[in-house]
Amino acid sequence: MGRLESKIAIITGAGSGIGKATALVFAQEGAHVICADINLEAAGAVVKEIKENNGEVTALFVDVADEKSVIEFAEQCKEKFGRVDVLFNNAGIDTAGGKLHNYSTELWDKIMAVDLRGTFLVSKYIIPLMLDNGGSIINCSSVSGIGADFNRAGYNAAKGGVHNLTKTMAIDYARDGIRVNQIAPGTIDTPLIEQILGEEGARKFKKSYELVDPMGRLGKPEEVAKVVLFLASDDSSYVTGESILIDGGHMAYTWPGELLSDLVK
């Protein structure tokens, strides 16, 4: 306990899933958590839960894809806190769009705006609040930024961009005392799955994923949050420019055939 004592920590997309789990863990470890979200009602529910456990927390609105909104958000952070010690660029969206020749340009632009441009914008305007004292930035990429998913060109490309943006940020700011790393989760059991696939589609997807995942299950948001905590804390003081897979071993093999062979009649 206390690994983030007195730290000011921003989490974008803090209203649900990985963001919510990380906000709860950060608060338990002593941080004042800024729950930043486009959905203030969802962020407010997280704030309520943290306060019930005597944590320090603030909810602030931000649309990470809108530069004006991000500027206003950064100004609020500066006015209220004067500095930021930890930034978790977690906000993101995902949906299937079909093969590239059928892929909607509108969908491409929307995903790029949130997942890649949003990471750029929030970092751009929050880094000045870290320059005096240093800090830690954690970007949320995905296994889809290293491999790829069917019918998701926009998401795959955006998360691939986050992967290399992380390395760029790491070398640019290492001598300013700012460490920059990324996590690359596999499929984590969050509300996003049902939002994308619907209740029945999510049920089928989860069962099929269990068959090909070496650990035989989806990850939990709390498991991701603990890795983010490591990267946010001084426990990772000599770690920068790194990507940590959180996927139950999913990316460790090239062919799932042997995992499935006992199901073949």
What's residue 163's pLDDT?
Answer: 97
**155 counts as catalytic:** yes
pLDDT in tens, 170-222: 999 999 999 999 999 998 998 878 887 888 888 888 888 888 888 989 999 99
- Domain assignment present for 257: no
What count of Cα atoms within 13 Å lies in the side-chain half-sphere of residue 245? 12
Sign of the C-alpha dihedral, residues 79, 80, 85, 89? negative
What's residue 191's pLDDT?
Answer: 81
- Domain assignment present for 31: yes
What does the alpha-carbon distance between residue 232 and residue 181 come to, in Å, rounded to a whole number? 9
Sign of the C-alpha dihedral, residues 33, 140, 137, 111? negative
What's residue 263's pLDDT?
Answer: 65
What's residue 262's pLDDT?
Answer: 67
What's residue 264's pLDDT?
Answer: 63
Q: Name residue 216's beta-bridge partners.
A: none
CATH of the domain at 23: 3.40.50.720
Domain housing 174: 8-190+221-247
% of the chain exceeding 90 in pLDDT: 82
Catalytic one among 103, 125, 155, 173? Answer: 155
Coil, helix or strand at residue 36: strand
Walking along the chain (265 residues) 10 residues at a time, the average pLDDT comes out as 94 97 98 98 97 97 98 98 98 94 98 98 98 98 94 97 98 98 94 83 85 90 98 98 96 79 64
The model carries a pTM of: 0.95
Q: What is the DSSP letter of 117?
A: I
Amino acid letter at 33? V
What's residue 205's pLDDT?
Answer: 84
- Domain assignment present for 225: yes
Q: How do 178-185 and 135-140 pair as beta strands?
A: parallel
pLDDT in tens, 10-34: 999 999 999 999 999 999 999 999 9
Average pLDDT, the chain: 94
- Domain assignment present for 180: yes
Number of domains in the chain: 1
- Domain assignment present for 210: no
- Domain assignment present for 39: yes
- Domain assignment present for 262: no
- Domain assignment present for 196: no
